[in-house]
Structure formats: structure tokens, C-alpha cells
Amino acid sequence: MLFLLADTFQTSLNRLTAEERKAAKLAGMELQMNPAQPGLQCHRLENIKDKNFWSARVNRDLRLIFHRVASSLMLVYVDHHDAAYDWAARRKIETHPVTGAAQIVEIRETVREIEIPVYVPKEQPRSPEARQPLAQRTEAELLSYGVPAEWIPDVRAATEDTLLTIATHLPAEAAEAVLDLATGTTPTKPLVTEPDQTDPFAHPDAQRRFRILTGAEELARALDYPWERWIVFLHPSQQDWVGRSFNGPTRVQGSAGTGKTVVALHRAVFLARRNPDARVLLTTFSKPLAALLQEKLHRLVQGEPSLLERLDVLAMEELGERIHTAQLGSPKRITPADLDALIRLHAPPEITRTYGEAFVVEEFREIVDAFHLRDWDSYRDVRRLGRRSRLNEAKRRLLWQGFEQVLQELNQQGLITDHQLFHRSADQLHRTVSRPYQHIVVDECQDITAGRPIVCLMWNPMMWMAMCRTVAAPSPSSAAQIQRSRPATTRTAKLKPSPLGLRSAAAKASLPTTSESSYVARPRSPVPRQPWSLLASPSSASAPPPCASAARPPSPPCTWPKGSNSVP
């Protein structure tokens, strides 16, 4: 018998007190292990529409509602006695006749007539008849979007004032579709399966609200964090991007709240599970965010220590420091204040009088240093995207004379900048052809400055996914490190927010495009995977011969230089 968990159970569980949640969790686990346990006092509910709803006793007041048929048992709701029974009396679980997805449907007869209170003076001029945006939609069309049959008359008769209220009574995919249709957008139709020939709980739309649990540990993990539904339930479009196969780098874009971080976490875990011998890196722009991702990753793969050993979560800055220390020794970096002072010292007066010293400092940091420009020809030809002030060749020549002196002094003192740390590390990785990670996932890449993602490229230019809010970064074609070859084709996915304001995402992929804002390099010849020992022994590292077979040796544990913090 299958044991399932509905998202409505987690939602109701979160409304209880801490003591009540603990009792409900224990009752749910007892029900999973032995549905016939006498202490639960299980019995079928009477005088309700869905005869498969049962009740289990948690304590004197709390009742656990579950749905039981011959092949499955599903936790659906928990609440105080009367409220739990009332919830079950107003709902039923059925398979949609067209899409074939299992749905929790609110019974129309139990819903009071929807009224919109209007507080206006007694005398008002007669208003025009309210518009019904979906009145012309056919029953067959609405059914194809997953709208329950008994709610179709209400959807078609809904006005602009009542439509949003009606949508709250519909299954999630139906609510999103009717709101899209009402606003002039054509939604993507759900996958259609044969209701009599396939499992209704396996439908992508059903998986956003139902989860099949394989054991007590999985149930315990789901109930330990009932408010974090992203661990268990994914929007179908999110699940699509988590499990899709790509033939190159992928950039996923979306506004805030569309679930990009959720996709990144699940994608990293999916890659580690699908490739037992691979190491996966999940990285982002700051240490606090990396720590948060690490915490969420532990919750997502709780109870799987062998999987966690192959999943590393590091901030991009920490990643660069570790690579540089392992390959080239501990970096001797100049402080930002000292770097600014050095740039101002060599700033040409003709430029500072017109643009100011701050402009010269930003020009060095954002263009010259970020893109590792080390000669006049590179700076002369660079496309200064994002810089408001235009510079002709004569002004660039004056600036370069000062920048060249800055670079010479840094070199003489053996100092490097933050950007140079990443470029030097990338150069070394390129020379040694080492590949400690087989897959890389980058979160919040729009906040990562131009020089940093190049480390990911040098590790594995074809197997990485970047999650970003906006397309932000100057053209990488100007960077010497990326200009080794022409840019490769990159697939871009766009995540958009749900019409209901949910954190679920509706992903739509555009055709492959060549984008200047994508950090992409042409793949080099395949090479065997390199152990971490190559990073710790730069003197002995050498490029091995091309891979002769598809067989790969097991991945050794990640070993950082002595004295560094270990990755959990």
C-alpha cells in the first residue's frame, strides 16, 4: 500500500502549537507503520461526500484526517475535532476527467454564495453591468486546464470582482490557468494522461500537492519542517528544470520569488544522485547566503551522509581563496582602501578634472581589473557596457598610462587584487586541466562580479547552471580569459511568478541563443576527472592524456590545504 502526504496536511500542521504538532507527527508515523493500531481509533467518516475519508485520534481534541482506498493511504489534514470533520465534509479527492491528475476538490454545494461587500452611500448612479472575462470560454477548454467540472459554471459567470475569490477554491493549476486567461495570457495546458491507465498521483500537477513517501525517515523529515514545503512539493515547471538534461551551460532567469534557489538546491541534489561518482558544487556570491544554502541542503538530504560528502556549498570568494592557496600558495591581497589610494595616485589629472577621481577608481575596478586587461590593445578595444561616460581613444590612452603604473606597482610588491585572485586561479586550472567538480550550480549569479564565474568555467565549461534575477555583467568577449575561443550556445530558461503570487514558478525555455552576458567558453577535449590532490600539489600537476574510455574512477574525498576548514 502506498503512503502519501498532501500539502494540505503540512499547511494545517503548521497552524498547531508546538505540542500539538509533536502529537500529530507521532500519530502520523504510527498510522504509517500500522493503520490498524487500536490506539488511533480509526473510523470512516459518515454523512460526507467522499466516503474514503477516515479519522484517527491524536488526543482528546485533535483529529487526523486521512484518505484511504485499497491501494493507498494519504494524510490530508489535522485540526481540532469539529474543524477537522468540517474540512473533510467540504472536500473530495478525485481524478480529473481530462488531465488525469489527482485533485483535492472543494465541493461546490458546501461553499456559500460569494458576495463582495460594497460600502457606498445609499444613492449612486446605476453602474454598468460587470464584465465576465471568461464567459465565452467553453466547458471543454476550461476542463483542459484542469478546472473541476462542478466549478465551470461559477468560473464562466465570475466577474472581475469575484474571479480572484473563486480562484482560491480551485486546484492550483486550475486557478493559475483561469487567472491567466482572464488577463489575456494563454497558459500552458497541463499534461493529459489517461485517467484509467495511469497513476493519478504520478501526474506532474498532482505531484505539486501529493508526495509518495517510501519510509518512516522520509515522513519524519517532511513533518520536521512542515512550513518548508519546497523540500517535498515542487511546481511541475520547477521539477522539469530540476531533472532536465542539457547539452551545455544553462542560465535560469526569473524575478524575485519565482523559486530559483529552490530549483538550484534540488538540481544539485538531483545531479549528485544521478551521478554516483561525481562531485557537485553549489556556489553563490556571499558567505552568509552560502551558509543558508548549506543549512537548507542538509534538510533536503537529511539522513543521506554519503550524498552530502559529494555536495560542496561554498561562497565564490571562499572558493577562489581555496583554489589559489592549493594551487599557487596563500594569496597576498591588497586591501580595497590601499588599492583605491594607489589608483588615485596614478590617476591622470586631465581625466580627474573632468570626471573625478571616483570615476578613475571605478574604471579600474569594473573594467580593467574585473576583465583582467593587461595591455593597451585589450583596454582600447573593450566594450564598456554599463559605464555611462563615453571615452574616446585619446582619453583611454591617458587612463591606461595610469593603470599600467598601478599594475606594475602591484607586481613589484607581490600583491594581487580580489579579481586577480580568481583570474590567476583560473589560469592555473586551465594549465593543469584539473576537474575537481563535474557539475556546478551557481545561485544569485547576477550579484557575482565579472571575474569570479571564470573559475567555474575553467573547472567545467559545459556542465553548470546559473540562477540569476537579471542579465547583469559587461561583455565577457572583452575578457582575456574568456576570449580564448568564440562563445558557445547557451540555453536560457525564464521563471515567472504564479498568478496567485505563490513561490511556485512557471518556467518557459527560449530557443538557444548566443548571449554576451553568459559566461561561456568552448569545451576543450575531454579529460579524465582529476583528484583534489592535484590542487594541493601544483608542482607535480600535469595535463594527463585525453580520456580513452567512458569508465571513470571513483571520486576521492575533497582535500583542502592543511589548516583550512573542512567542508561538511
Under the banding of pLDDT at 50, 70 and 90, the label for residue 556 is very low
- Residue ranges of alpha helices (H) inside 228-315 are 236-243, 260-274, 287-300, 305-308
> 533 pLDDT exceeds 70?
no
> 349 pLDDT exceeds 60?
yes
Domain map of the chain by residue range?
Answer: 2-96+199-231, 102-182, 244-330+434-536, 336-415
pLDDT value for 313 = 93
CATH superfamily for 2-96+199-231 is: RelE-like (3.30.2310.20)
Helices 216-224, 18-33: axis angle to 10 degrees equals 160
Task: Collapse the DSSP code of 159 into the 3-class scheme (helix H, G, I; strand E, B; otherwise coil) and give the result.
Answer: coil
Q: The pTM is what?
A: 0.59
* Total residue count of the chain as it appears in this document: 568
pLDDT, tens only, 371-417: 889 999 999 998 887 788 889 999 999 999 999 999 999 999 999 99
Judged by average pLDDT, the poorest of 21-25, 160-164, 274-278, 423-427 is 423-427
283 and 440 in contact (C-beta within 8 Å)?
yes
> What is the DSSP track for 56-114?
EE-SSSEEEEEEE-SSEEEEEEEEEHHHHHHHHHTEEEEE-TTT--EEEEE-GGGSPPP
Judged by average pLDDT, the poorest of 1-10, 499-508, 514-523 is 514-523
The more confident residue out of 382 and 537 is: 382
Give CA–CA dist 355/362, Å, rounded.
11
pLDDT, tens only, 111-165: 665 555 555 555 555 556 778 889 999 999 999 999 999 999 999 999 988 898 8
> What is the SS3 string spanning 436-469?
CCCEEEECCHHHCCCCCCHHHHHHCCCCEEEEEC
CATH code of domain 244-330+434-536: 3.40.50.300
CA–centroid distance for 353 within its chain = 47
Q: List the one residue out of 244, 248, 223 whose CA is nearest residue 519.
A: 248
pLDDT, tens only, 195-207: 566 788 888 888 8
Helices 236-243, 260-274: axis angle to 10 degrees equals 40
- Residue ranges of alpha helices (H) inside 285-433 are 287-300, 305-308, 316-328, 336-345, 349-355, 357-363, 376-381, 393-413, 418-432
Give CA–CA dist 298/136, Å, rounded.
50
Give CA–CA dist 347/359, Å, rounded.
10
Q: Distances in Å between the alpha carbon of 341 and those of 42, 347, 451, 511? A: 76, 10, 22, 47
